[in-house]
Amino acid sequence: MTKDYAKQYINGKWIEGHSEKSLTNKDPFNEDIIFEMKSASEQDLNEAYTSAQQAQKKWSTTAPGEKQQLLESVAQVMVKRKDEIIDWLVKEAGSTMTKANLEFSVAHRIVKESASFPYRVKGKIMDSDIPGKENRVYMNPKGVVGVIGPWNFPFHLSMRSVAPAIATGNTVVLKPASETIVTSGTLIADIFAEAGAPDGVLNVIAGRGSEIGDAFVQHSVAKVISFTGSTEVGRHIAKQAGEQIKETALELGGNNVLIVLEDADLEAAAESAAFGKFMHQGQICMSINRILVHNQIHDEFVDLFKKKVESLQTGDPSDEKTAIGPLINRSQVDRIQKDLDDSVNQGAEEVLGGKVEGNLLHPVILTHVTNDMPIAKNEIFGPVAPIISFESEEEAIKLANQLPYGLSGAIHTKDLHHGVETAQKIETGMIHINDQPVNDEAHMAFGGEKDSGLGRFGGEWVLNKFTTEKWVSVQKERRAYPFFE
């Protein structure tokens, strides 16, 4: 087991990258350099895919009990190394202790769910209209899966593809995010290695997108590309994969709403909004982007919400009392600040102002926001809470559906049946009644509509994503053909 995570992991070996360029890994809170490493070249990428292809031939025919045991061992290693995983999430991704522990828990559940997959890959025997024929449908692994990890929930969202893909008989080449090389890549490889994964089953290639990004997607060995990230990059990946008729699993951006109806429990709604907006500084695809509040309760809700947010501590993510830590880098702070300033110039009002300290952006609450302001129409990915007032439920639904995203959402109301009826009218892949949008359960369908992605992760849905079905018919008695009757 290696502790030098500043390397590539190919075919069970830790090696230096062969690019002339390097990658720098920084702590987003204090901007200290954690390490520098040689970037992967196309030669490294090709070796990783070749190793995965060769390993997949044997891994696909490995007994389901052995596959299950590997995933169970991964889960055990994770528990043993939990403190290390948490520490890396804090110092590399800027995760607060609360967020890091939550991320560990959901990743662990993904691995445990994946351990059930080897025995859930089932075929079918079906009748035929042709006399003496038996139809069989076999469910087989796709082959080699290319996974591109994100930086916001790096450990969980990379593991969400890696564990199910391997459990279903595929092998994986994982490209971690450059901001979180360890938690979205090399640490995962080290855990699988300790758990006993055969060489080549999981390979990790850390490299610049400008150098190996397109080649990663276009490589002929990759049968599926799983990507979690921005809609802009996802659209580029989908285009490249489409040109090669290649399967994709895309979980992209969101512009999620929390709708507070007139009959809502405002105390509960305010707590939901504070958690769903400010968990991990709002750097979650499911984070609340817009809070829609009925005008009859608007002022009361704003007062309650402001009090909840003012109680949240901003600062060092390693401090267990900290609720809001740093953004991943300075460019994110600058981007959000521009949208914030432009929106204020267009009429938004700051109820709570956010000072900037390095990569720390203290929480901001805005009222008098409209859907066409940058802070509302763009995905924020930061600790800014725009509040939009509405007069009728029909207006709220229109506001929610007006923008091109459809990932998650939430509705607060005391009438649960009506809440479900309203939820059915929101164009989104996931929505939660009397909760907030940041929900992820390993056995549930996770994914979005419209510009928020393609396909579903979780449970039986991801099982279908990483397998393919083959029809094999068996003619058990001589068939009579019309030509020869």
In the chain, how many domains are there?
2
Q: Within a domain: residue 1?
A: no
Question: Phi/psi at 13 (nearest 5 deg)?
Answer: -125, 145
Catalytic positions: 251
Rg, C-alpha atoms of the chain:
24
CATH code at position 96: 3.40.605.10
Q: Within a domain: residue 386?
A: yes
Q: Within a domain: residue 438?
A: no
Q: Which residues touch 375 (CB under 8 Å, ≥6 apart)?
A: 339, 340, 342, 343, 348, 366, 369, 384, 386
Q: Do the beta carbons of residue 76 and residue 115 sit within 8 Å?
A: no
Amino acid identity at 384: V
Q: Which residues touch 457 (CB under 8 Å, ≥6 apart)?
A: 160, 161, 164, 249, 251, 445, 446, 447, 465
Q: Do residues 168 and 302 both lie within one domain? A: no
- Enter the pTM of the model: 0.95
Q: Do residues 243 and 129 both lie within one domain? A: yes
Q: Which residues touch 122 (CB under 8 Å, ≥6 apart)?
A: 139
User: Which residues lie across from 133 on neighbouring strands?
Assistant: 475
CATH code at position 376: 3.40.309.10
Domain holding 424, by residue range, is 256-433
How many residues appear in the chain?
Answer: 485
The per-residue pLDDT for 2 is: 44
Residue 137 to residue 122: CA distance in whole angstroms: 9
Q: Do residues 179 and 276 both lie within one domain? A: no
The per-residue pLDDT for 1 is: 39
Mean pLDDT by 10 residues, the chain (485 residues): 81 96 96 96 97 98 98 98 98 98 98 97 95 97 97 97 98 97 98 98 94 95 96 94 93 96 98 98 97 98 98 97 97 97 97 93 98 97 98 98 97 98 98 98 95 93 94 96 88
Q: Do residues 162 and 276 both lie within one domain? A: no
Residue 10 to residue 7: CA distance in whole angstroms: 10
The per-residue pLDDT for 354 is: 79
Q: Do residues 235 and 344 both lie within one domain? A: no
